Homo-oligomer: A and B are copies of this chain.
Amino acid sequence: TAAAAEAEPKKRCLWFEEELEEDLRWVFGVSKILHTGVSEFQDIELVESGPFGKVLILDGKLQSAEADEFVYHESIVHPALLYHSNPKSVFIMGGGEGSTAREALRHRSVEEVVMCDIDEEVVNFCRKHLTVNAEAFRSNRLELVINCARAELENRTEQFDIIIGDLADPVAGGPCYQLYTKSFYEHVLKPRLKDGGILVTQGGPAGILTHTEVYSSIYNTLRQTFKYVVPYAAHVPSYADTWGWIMASDQPIPAISAEETNLRIKQRINGELKFLDGQTLSATHALNKHVRNSLAAERHVYTEETARFIHGHGTASKN
């Protein structure tokens, strides 16, 4: 008996809201809570969102969205591995979601990926629910360690071709900010890089209005620690911002031509990349004038005592 034809459309009633700044909110409709979990460190939620497909949320912050996680994860993994002549071993600090390991494992040269995340619950949650990473989690080239990345690197004697910092942003009260400090880079991380090895870390928001929150400072800190430092960035729609990464090494990271990049992608990586190719890669390196000048002028060095934090509550950590 329902006069359905006259019905107004259903109103969206459940919304995810992330406070990007004190007075800036990013709000999207949620049609379904798929799975929830709680760990010692954070709340975990996988929701079906309107605009971004499945979205992984840690402690109220969007971590990764089905619709565009390929931008972040291709960007954090492939450049360093493509610049390296023959990457065989990869150490991932954090990365519990599994997507970073997934991308690293696509490189045929890679024989070993160590993924070291502090939060076992997040790892188990993602292994179980993120089907896109299921194969990576099952790979016999993956060594999964539940530990603090700092402690793990201090205890290992092994060295790696590539170390990836797929960590939560430095926020007040979070443990991760210690994995962005000069002393950590110098005394803990660098000794674990092989000759010719490259560190790449996520660097937080790198937009016109946000790159001085932490990105420029992490950049400058790496510049104090490594001989060669290469910042790059790309807009990640679900983050409502341009995101930044930084490569660092004591050996040169020479620019390669778009053609050479495309060739290496073809030769080294299984399957098709969606975001990166030669042209895209060089574009991500070309920060705009405003941000580039700002990075060049940055004098802040990230230490335990001088840490800068981005807006957000403080307990989350993927490490």
A residues contacting B by CB (< 8 A) are: 1-19, 21-30, 32-33, 36, 41, 43, 45, 49-52, 57, 59-61, 67-68, 71, 148, 150, 171-175, 178, 207-210, 234-235, 237, 240-242, 273-277, 279-280, 282-283, 286-290, 292, 312-315, 317
Protomer copies: 4
For residue A313, which residues in chain B have a CB less than 8 angstroms away from its CB? 7-11
For residue A25, which residues in chain B have a CB less than 8 angstroms away from its CB? 15, 25-28
Q: Please give the distance in Å from A286's CB to the nearest CB on chain B.
A: 3
A237-B207 contact in complex given A279-B292, A280-B288, A286-B283, C-beta closer than 8 Å:
yes
Q: Please give the distance in Å from A53's CB to the nearest CB on chain B.
A: 10
For residue A280, which residues in chain B have a CB less than 8 angstroms away from its CB? 286-289, 292
For residue A60, which residues in chain B have a CB less than 8 angstroms away from its CB? 10-13
Q: Please give the distance in Å from A90's CB to the nearest CB on chain B.
A: 23
Contact A314 B6 (CB under 8 A): yes
Instruction: Look across to chain B and name the residue whose beta carbon is closest to the beta carbon of A15.
Output: B15
Contact for A6 among B3, B7, B30, B172, CB less than 8 A:
B172
